[in-house]
A and B are shown apart, each in its own frame.
Chain A
Amino acid sequence: MKFYVFKAILATWLVISSWSSFSWAGLNVVTTTSDLGSIAKKVGGSLIKVNSLVKGYQDPHYIQPKPSYMVKMNRADLLIYQGLELEIGWLPVLIKGARNPNIRWGQPGHLDASTGIPKLEILSGEVDRSMGDIHPYGNPHYHLDPENGFIIARSIFNKLSELDPENASQYRENLDRFNKKLAEKISHWKKQMAVYRGTKIVTYHKLWSYFLNRFGLSILNTVEVKPGVSPSTRHLAMLTSQMKRQNIKLVVQATYYSSEFSDMVAAKVGGSVLTLPAFVGGTSKARDYFSLFDIIVEELRKVLPSNL
């Protein structure tokens, strides 16, 4: 009787363990953000499985290191993250708990997608927490400059070819296809945004620097008084008077912020608040890296004429 029970437990164990590692011969890729996931899927195609931990409508600063993420990372061959300390609040805990030696720092299955990116807002001199939630090595939201998409895609291509050299030529084809489409799209978006070069706007958080830099717009100031710190009444008053003086009316923010402060500012200056997806999946229409910018450009073009 006892031996029968033992056999039953052993059989169940074998079924569970073999079921969860059921015949997927390709690479298992886990990315932190959905943008990295979208680009990885385009470069890897059907040869890889991609899982993105953070949904596009979630604020990557406030992700909790849920053990369910550790399970996905435990099964991964490659971990890709944005870096520049964007995920510093939770990714190290996940890497430790994932118990996967291949994805740890310095191992082949570990890719920091910020390598090779020309970084904006690198802080020089002394930095400390009184400056807010700052990223001393540069603004980590570099995926919002579509030209950085070439660099991200190439890093991912190099890594996939290193881990899976047999399929390198297929990855190369996918990369070329992605590069071609991205190049066409970028020149299209540039044409659409050309008329707004030199426009100044206000954003809630310093999320949009790379996007604005690429398309020739700039920000006057943020609604936040410091990164991650909600505005004081004094800051809001100073901001609204600056905006009135310079006739700036548009406030842009990501979907995952509450809009109460942006609404206050827009009401005072007679302008409007535009809520945009900051990542793939931020809204249902921003389904991949291309449509993310399609949406952002389309929404800006709708709203900018009445806010100039």
Chain B
Amino acid sequence: MKSRTLYILLIIYLFNPVSAWPASQLEELEKRIRILESTKEKGPLQNSSTATGISRKFNPAMSFNGLFLGTYNDEGNYDSTKEVRTGLKVQEVEMRLTANIDSWLRGDITLAVEGSTGLEVEEAIVEGVITRNLSFKTGKFLTSFGKHNQLHTHAFPFIDLPVVSEEILGEEGLNEVGVGGSYLLPTEWYSEFTLQLLQGDNTKQFNGPAGSDFAYLIRQNNLWDLNDETTMELGGSYVYGKNSLAPPSSFDNETHLAEADLTIKWKPAGREAYTTTIWQTEFIGSFREQTQKGWYTLIKHQFAKKWWVQGRYSGYTIPNGPNRGDKNQWSALFAWVPNDFSAVRLQYNHLNQVTADENQVLLQLNFTMGSHPAHKY
């Protein structure tokens, strides 16, 4: 009670014109108020009793993402092996844990459950800054092969992968165990140089027979502020590794993956919350005994605070050899995004391919709970 009276008196004192008080006296008074405030807050200590005796305050930030999906496909209704088939499913549930490990390391773990069974480690990363401009990362992670490959499913610009990514890298993308570093070049614009040494397990492109068949990734990307409202990013990546063709064969078992990307983003000055336009294009190629290549281009446009309309085209081709063929995908999407934590998205795909053409309609609920770290730009 006595400290409360003193507190009130100090408040009344302070309502005198501040200019009447010399700076040192002001500092003194503020220090005393701070002390009073902190002593008032001392009550029973919360969150301290745990089985380990260690405060919960050191626990990682925890968040969950969920993707619930309803699909209609005019093909393959009776084909149980078909991935995109009419039905309802939990597309994915993901749990993300992030924490500073100590003063030099930070940990970031993503556990994913695809469907309703089977917990997998999607990413388990330890990262840190070695020296000014140089950061490192190790663990299991989505590698820096292009822009789309680095995204978790709930952050995909569309509900599904573009056809070129799915065909060349597979459903899981280029997700490898490895170690890498990323260097920020001393330029006036953002320019980054990344090197990654990867285990090379990807079954579509790598997975060489020897334990020492690693994959080596290099990426360089640049981002410029064209003006206050617009940014442009230009990047390229290359990965070299051995694939699982049994030697000796008439072809060597080397895989060369290459990628180039261009992204332009626009947000009007002073109205950033209401409008956005994004245009992104990536060319991806796999050069080995059989060449595979393709590209996608997409546009996302936010036309009202909570509404987005989007379009995407993706083409994929095997230009020669016994598996010669094309696969093209046209997609249109409409989304209601009331805030950063939930979205309802409706997408239509038309697939042009060697087997029967398909028309797909996908409806997704995409939500996030908890302390989820912000996404990269």
Which residues from chain A sit less than 8 Å from chain B, CB to CB? 16-17, 20-21, 55, 57-59, 61-68, 70-71, 74, 88-90, 92-93, 96-101, 104, 106, 116, 118, 129, 133, 147, 150-151, 154, 176, 179-180, 183-184, 186-187, 228-230, 255-256, 258
Contact = CB atoms under 8 A, between A and B. Distances in A.
Give the interface residue-count category, chain B.
35 or more
Contacts of B83: none
A228 B131 CA distance: 39
B285 to A, nearest CB: 26
Nearest to B18: A183
Interface stretch (B156-164, B205-213, B222-230, B307-315): B222-230
B231 A89 contact: no
B74 interface: no
Contacts of A98: 184
Given A67-B223, A93-B374, A179-B23, 15 more contacts: A20-B186, A20-B187, A57-B269, A64-B377, A65-B374, A68-B231, A74-B133, A92-B373, A93-B376, A96-B106, A98-B184, A101-B131, A180-B19, A183-B17, A230-B305
Nearest to B182: A99
Contacts of A184: 19
Contacts of A64: 265, 267, 272, 377
A135 B49 CA distance: 26
Contacts of B228: 55
Nearest to B131: A101
Contacts of A147: 18
A180 B18 CA distance: 10
A68 B273 contact: no
Interface stretch (B26-34, B143-151, B194-202): B26-34
B79 interface: no
Interface in B5-49: 17-19, 23, 26-27, 30, 33-34
Contacts of A176: 23
Interface string B272-297: 11100000000000000000000000
A67 B190 contact: yes
A186 to B, nearest CB: 7
Nearest to A257: B273
Contacts of A256: 270-273
Nearest to A146: B18
B273 A59 contact: yes
B376 A71 contact: no
